Structures are given as structure tokens and as C-alpha cells.
Amino acid sequence: MIKPHGSNELMPKIVSTEEEKIALLDAAKSMKKITVNSAAAANLVMLGAGYFTPLDGFMEKKDVISVANKMQLDNGLFWPTPVVNLTNQNLEFKEGESIALIDPNVEGEQIIAIQKINKIEKLSDDEINNIVNKVYGTQDKSHPGVQTFYDQGNTLISGSVNVINFSYFEKDFGETFRTAMQIRSSIEAKGWENVVAFQTRNPMHRAHEELCRMAGERVNADGILIHMLLGKLKPGDIPADVRDTAIRTMVDHYFPKDYVMITGYGFDMLYAGPREALLHAVFRQNCGCTYLIVGRDHAGVGDFYGAFDAQDIFDDIPQDALEIKIFKPDHTAYSKKLNKVVMMRDVEDHTKDDFVILSGTKVREMLSKGESLPKEFARPEVAEVLMKHYMKE
């Protein structure tokens, strides 16, 4: 199986035994505490679940700046986005001290992790602006990822962590949430060697479905990993539980049995376009996948990125930065001529009028009015799941 990123084995930061967990929670009674923001809590879930292998915890300033400027840690390891515990709170901590981190997304002041503080450092306004500009390609606060980063504060608390739980993800998404360790184990148990990963934060329509099928056929995959983001999204995005139901409905009806693994991971969307596509590749390599589909406007938002910027960035990184390969599709749409979903570059005789193309805005508008989606765009079973959600709102 493909090796994890930067390591011969996964390096999950979740505590491994119940005894260790009890001991840490007992020790935490005498520790100072801080409630982290949702982005830091999501980073902790990813550190705990092995997706951030080989990171040990939150980055210090020199690593954050190196990642922003050069897409590598100070030690030279490829890494595309900062993994930080930023705060705007006044701190009474000392370097070398262990502190308890409180989960902001769970009631009752639940401790999500213990962090040993390596350094407490300030980022200047210029440094934050540079990080935001390099990672997101813009400083425009109408970009949801940019706004979220600015809102976190300018005090950086770095250091290694011991993660105690996976926040709300196991409870709320018990059927779907999986760690990188669990996915690797499942891939191994199935005997799959060549696995294509599909990242999604949306329900899957006909084009997404066919994209997975095409990729699987063209690289001769043993199976497909549909890996959905379960964390915080921007207003207007479809909630994770509805997405989950829609995707399971599609797979049950339209894919061969045991060819698709449906899983999810606990991370808040960055909407960082090309940089986030690289991070998605790291996640999937750590899961044991050999290919990641990087489609049109992958991890993008609004008009901040070009349609295929997220594909092009893979040509700009060193060839040995990642072991996972990228499957780069063109626009996919339903062809009225051929009565099937196609990649537009494969049908040169088509004009724009030969395709059924709907914008996400148009789809949401139709669903909110109770209108059926065209069968060329969405499977009827999937459209029904989505319509029920929109009619409730």
C-alpha cells in the first residue's frame, strides 16, 4: 500500500487506550484551560485521526510562514496549508506548560486535547496578510476562508498534542466518520491496491457520479473512496446529514456492490482552492488511496479561482512532494446527443446547446420551489432526498 505522507506509518495523535485518556483527563483538572476556535478544533480532529501525518501538533511561526511562502515546513517537508492554534484571547500560559483545550462545538466544556506549549508567538498584521494572501490567493474578506482566518486572532500557540476525542463527529456521523487508520484498514481488508478518492462537500449529481465511474475505469481502480467533509461549511451549503443520505442513495442505486466505500472526515472547509486541493491529496495519501480526482473549481468558492487552478498547482510542486497521483478531468455534463454524461473535451462535435448544465444557484432555486430537477442532472432518488430537505426549510 502507498506510504503515508512523510512517514512509513500513520502517526495519529489520538490517545491509544482508555487508561491513558482517564489519566490525561485527571491531570487536566489542575491545568489551565482555553476554548479553541472551530478551525483549531477541526485541526485537532485531523491530527487525532491520522490525516495530518506526520505532524505532531500545531505549527510554530517559522513553519507557518514557510508553509505560506514555500509550501513546506522549515525542515523541508512538503505541506500546503498552516495547521495552527490561533487565538485573540489574553493568555496566562508559559512555554513548556501543558494546557487543556476545550471544544467550542460541544456543550459542557468538553476537553478535546492536551497541548504541551512549545512557543507562544505573535503574528504581525503584515505577516497575517502575507499568510492569507499566499494560502487563499486573496485578502478579500468576502471569501469565507479569509474571513475565518482573520477572525482567529494573531497569537500563535504551537506545540505537540494528545487528542482525547473526535469532537461531535463520531456521535453525529457514526456510520460515516472514519479515521485515516480505519480507511487504510478497510482498504487492506478488501484487498484493494488501486483506489480512487473523490472529495465532496456537496451532494453528488449525475456528473459527479459519472466522474467517479470514468476515473475508476480509466485507472483500472479496484474501488472508489467517496470521502465527504463533515465539518463547518459556509451558509447555504447542504448540511452533512442530507449530503450523506443523498450520496448513499446514489451509490445504492447506481454503483456495483462493494465497489464504493462511503466515508467522511471531521474538518472545517477552508475554501482555499488550489492550496486546499494539495491538502486533500495529503489526506487521501494518508488514507491509502493511489489517486485523487481533482475536478473543476476543486475546493473553490465564488469567482476567486480559475476553473482548473486546483489541477495546475500540482504541476508546480516537486515531483517527489507526494506519492498519490492526480486524476484531472475536464468539465463534465450531460450530452443530449449521446444521452449520457461526458467530459466536454471528449466530444469536440458538441456545441454548448448540446449539454445540460445547471448552476448550483439554479439547482437550489428549483429545489426551494419544489420543482423536480432534470433527470439529466440528478438521479430522481437523489433529487427526492434534496427536495425533502429544501421543502422543510
| Each residue's pLDDT tens digit, 74-87 | 999 999 999 999 99
Neighbours of 162 (CB within 10 A): 20
**What is the band of 360 on the pLDDT scale with cuts at 50, 70, 90?**
low
154-168, 243-257, 342-356: lowest mean pLDDT where? 342-356
C-alpha distances (whole Å) from 254 to each of 213, 220, 229, 259, 278 are 10, 19, 22, 11, 29
What CA–CA distances, in Å, run from 28 to 25, 35, 293, 343, 382? 5, 14, 42, 55, 46
Q: In the chain, what are the domains?
A: 18-167 (3.10.400.10), 175-265+271-392 (3.40.50.620)
User: Of these residues, 105, 162, 178, 201, which one is catalytic?
Assistant: 201
Work out the average pLDDT over 25-51.
Answer: 97
Q: How confident is the model at residue 393 (pLDDT cuts 50, 70, 90)?
A: low
Q: pTM of the entire structure?
A: 0.95
The mean pLDDT of 144-156, rounded to a whole number, is 97
Give yes or no for residue 285 having a pLDDT over 70: yes
The average confidence (pLDDT) of the chain is: 94
Q: Which residues contact 262 (CB under 8 A, 6 or more apart)?
A: 176, 226, 228, 244, 247, 248, 251
- Three-state SS for 190? helix
Per-residue confidence (pLDDT) for residue 359, from 0 to 100 = 65
- Distance (Å, whole) CA 46 – CA 166: 9
Lowest-pLDDT range of 220-224, 225-229, 337-341: 337-341
Active site residue 202: yes
pLDDT digits (tens, 9 = 90+) for 343-357: 888 999 999 899 888
Tell whether the model's pLDDT for residue 342 goes beyond 80.
yes
Residue from 154, 202, 248, 296 carrying the catalytic annotation: 202
**Residue 202, pLDDT score:** 85
Task: Using the predicted structure, report yes or no on whether residue 164 has a pLDDT greater than 80.
Answer: yes
